[in-house]
Structure 1
Amino acid sequence: MIDSPAGTAKWDRVPERDDESRHRPTERRLRQLAPAVDAVGVLIPVGLLCAVTQQPQPLLTAVLAGASWLAVGASKNRYSRAEPAGDGAALPVLRDWLTMLGVLAIVCVVARVEVSLQICVLALLPCLALGVARRRLVHRYLVAARRRAQALRRVLIVGEAGTVDVVLAELAHRTDHEYVVVGSCLVGEEAIDSAVPVPARLASDGSTPEAALDGETVLRCAADLDADLVFVAPGRRLPAARIRRLAWALHDGGRNLAILPGLIDVSQHRVRLAKAGGLTVMHIDPAARRGVPVLLKQITDRLGALLLLALLSPVFALVAAAIKLSSAGPVFYWQIRVGQDLRPFRMWKFRTMVVTADRMRAALETSNEHDGAMFKIRRDPRVTPVGRLLRRFSLDELPQLFNVLTGHMSLVGPRPPLPEEVERYDGTELRRLSVKPGLTGLWQVSGRSDLSWDETVALDLSYVDNWSYVRDISVLARTVRAVVDGRGAY
């Protein structure tokens, strides 16, 4: 095991090869079982419902439906490593399901099978739910295994030193992906900051006789390190023609190749590939800022806030009584926060601190436990006993539903900052304020105050750049688990 110096990637994820080899059959079995699970999820409900409703040829209808579902899944590589998983599973599976309905309709016409459309759609709903659930369960299992340094793909990176350092740093930020870097083939003689092994170097000039041996060198390194995937990072000294020759050698040698386009935190739904002559063009769509998705978000915000206020009115009454009976001062507390496009607004919360809390902050600045522009103290002496309980379960945030109802906030978005925090923002951090702040968001469901400032900014920027309505629904669902867990709430 190689220890990395401070500030570089974490190489303690590199698995022992025996542990990895024991775990990979389990991963393969999960993938091999997927078609059988999907088939059962179609055959049983379709066959039973068609038989109960006395549809003609129920068994044949069930077989045709199962075959159509598996054919659509196979045609879109849903039973490979690239299958949709986790929080992004629902939309691709829904697209597959709709495609399957069209395929099944054509197949039934060709096979002359008459079946009620309403019965068929109803019978196929379980396979839609099962498909999403199966992918999410497999995803959660694999994420947990990867965090134990299992079910990983051993990666060899090829590129210039500076580019390789950027790739290593980005991969080290998270442990839920399947890649672990076991070595690097550097182009040129520059050193890298990371402690990852460099078993060989490639020539700086791609036109030299040594460059013709790129493929042999990389294949030898991949074999020595038992790497099953090669990441190639293009650069000035690794142009397209040189990468093309390297790709030929790797594919002929039985190694998989992945190209790193230099993009950071761009969601897949924003990427479109096109051809222009002999070039592959990658289009990056902007995050939606208008249109139907934004309208849906606005409707969800207002109706959701109104519904939650009605349902939680007893909770409001109990919290207000607890605050009033436990400490002197008002029930509610408001603060000026900065919203979308630097517009200030009055944000409401249940009071969790003593009434003199704002005047005490200056004396506590040296006790700040958070880096960056945020002020947080784990054992803040200003917080009342009831306030500590409210913060533990995020009940102090509930009055912000009124801010959502008035349009100053959204149900999901970045954390609303204080004016004095915004004064310390640079141009990158100001990007967080290009959307409405949220009652909840990626920060809240990913650890809250336990996160560093850089991690907080990265999550907020990820939300701003890759926003989608489906992602909002996912964050709302994860918020319930985060509130119960209470991690980072203080």
Structure 2
Amino acid sequence: MYRIIFKRVFDVLLAIIMLPILMVILIIVGPIIYLEDKGPIYYNAPRLGKNGRIFMMYKLRSMRMNAPDLRNADGSTFNAENDPRLTKIGKFIRKTSLDESPQLINIIKGDMSIIGPRPDLPEHRDLYEGNENRKLEIRPGVTGFNQAYYRNTIPWKERIQNDIYYVDHFSLWLDIKIFFKTAVSVIKREDVFVTENSVKTVDNNGVGL
């Protein structure tokens, strides 16, 4: 019953309750993002949703305009504290996870859940092997099992297997544990950035991640 009905009800109710907080964040942080390099406040990123449906995931822009798209050797997106693509305010909102706050809108629209596997890039589906497509069986989340317990400290392929573990075991109790563990990780700002050094540049016509 939780999987079919209550999880979605809880998602929508909590997202609506948190909307005023999102408005305060936008009022305070939005102008700073714009003034730093006169670029857009938002970065709308295509992502893989439930059953492989592609949707636009909303984020506050943390990178400079026309920043190159860097990837780790395994194809996952590069994310490091010393990343020169990050703006000053961008580094702050990354550390505090404020850049993810607009995903409340994705939750209300039905693209995402509060808790679930973090969504991959559309092209990542071509890199899935074996049972890795199973992470697409449920809505992706703003946070999830990996974000709560590992953040960015393990390889992408290992994160996918953790996502599949969540798909097979998710319950109200597991979601509660992930929610509060995520809150602790965000407050402590633990393991926000990836430490991998092997990166590559791919074509990017966007405005920054």
**Counterparts of 2:48 and 2:140 in 1: how far apart (Å)?**
8
Contact 2:47 2:119 in 1 (8 A): yes
Given candidates 76, 79, 96, the residue that maps to 1:393 is 96
**Counterparts of 1:410 and 1:350 in 2: how far apart (Å)?**
18
Partner of 2:153: 450
Partner of 2:74: 372
Q: The residue matched to 1:388 in structure 2 has which SS? A: helix
Partner of 2:131: 428
Q: The residue matched to 1:448 in structure 2 has which SS? A: coil
Q: How many residues align?
A: 192
Is structure 2 residue 49 aligned with structure 1 residue 339? yes
Q: How much does 1:292 deviate?
A: 4.5
Partner of 2:28: 318
Q: What is the identity percentage for the equivalent residue pairs of Structure 1 and Structure 2?
A: 36
Structure whose CA Rg is larger = 1
One-letter code aligned to 1:460:
D
Gaps of 5+ in 1: 1-290
Partner of 2:206: none
- Which residues of 2 match residues 150-299 of structure 1 at below 5 A? 291-299=1-9
TM-score, normalising length from structure 1?
0.38
Is structure 2 residue 147 aligned with structure 1 residue 437? no
Q: 1:329 to 1:421 in 2, by over 3 A?
A: same
One-letter code aligned to 2:43:
Y
Is structure 2 residue 115 aligned with structure 1 residue 415? no
- The one of the two structures with greater contact order (alpha-carbon pairs below 8 A, sep at least 6) is 2
One-letter code aligned to 2:172:
Y
Is structure 2 residue 63 aligned with structure 1 residue 353? yes
Contact 2:37 2:65 in 1 (8 A): no
Contact 1:411 1:440 in 2 (8 A): yes
Q: How much does 1:294 deviate?
A: 2.7
One-letter code aligned to 1:389:
F
Q: 1:377 to 1:313 in 2, by over 3 A?
A: closer
- Which residues of 2 match residues 442-481 of structure 1 at below 5 A? 442-481=145-184
**Counterparts of 1:307 and 1:299 in 2: how far apart (Å)?**
12
Q: How much does 1:459 deviate?
A: 1.6
Gaps of 5+ in 2: 194-209
The structure with the largest helix share of the pair is: 1
Contact 1:330 1:351 in 2 (8 A): yes
Partner of 1:224: none
Q: How much does 1:352 deviate?
A: 0.4
Partner of 1:141: none
One-letter code aligned to 1:440:
T
Instruction: Give the 4+ runs in structure 1 shifted more than 6 A.
Output: none
Partner of 2:199: none
